[in-house]
Amino acid sequence: MLRSLLATAGVAAAILPLAATPAQAATPVVEIIKVFYDSPGSDRGGNASLNGEYAVLRNTTRKSIQLERWILRDRTGYKYRFPRFTLRPGKTVTVRSGQGTDTRTTLYWGRKWYVWNNDGDRASLYRGSDLKKIDTCDWGRGGTSTRCR
């Protein structure tokens, strides 16, 4: 009886950590925290309007992350491939759809038309080394932006 009870307790101890794991969703090392998909004013495709459309990403770790070759993409397949860029611990970077000069806090996609669909879309972030999906952010109809976290 005691042997049976100990065996059952051993199996339960082995299973319980596995059962707890899915509920503890890991925070991605870089997360999409906001997508502003409907730029203010008229959407006529001018560079200022294109740059009113953007995604904000945050480094959730305590170490710098090299984003070179990482990819940010929408549901239809438009891809932004990150240049050599280091995202410092706890910091954010804004990726704007239009053209401009990259800085330590803002990168430019260089597009001449909009990326993010106002009536619903998905932003996905992929790691450059193995193209593993790191994070996603979805939205539907209505509003001008979505908070992803």
Q: What is the pLDDT of residue 143?
A: 80
The model's confidence at residue 25, banded by pLDDT at 50, 70 and 90, is low
9 φ/ψ angles, rounded to the nearest 5 degrees: -65, -40
Q: What is the pLDDT of residue 99?
A: 97
Q: What is the pLDDT of residue 103?
A: 97
Asked whether residue 20 carries a pLDDT value surpassing 70, the answer given is: no
The CA-based angle 38-40-44, given to 5 degrees, is 80
pLDDT tens-digit readout, 104-127: 999 999 999 999 998 999 999 999
Q: How many CB atoms lie within 10 A of CB 21?
A: 10
For 26-147, give the CATH class: mainly beta
Average pLDDT for the chain: 85
Asked whether residue 19 carries a pLDDT value surpassing 90, the answer given is: no
pLDDT tens-digit readout, 44-56: 789 999 999 999 9
pLDDT tens-digit readout, 72-91: 999 999 999 999 999 999 99
Asked whether residue 10 carries a pLDDT value surpassing 80, the answer given is: no
Bridge-partner residues for 71, per DSSP? 81, 126
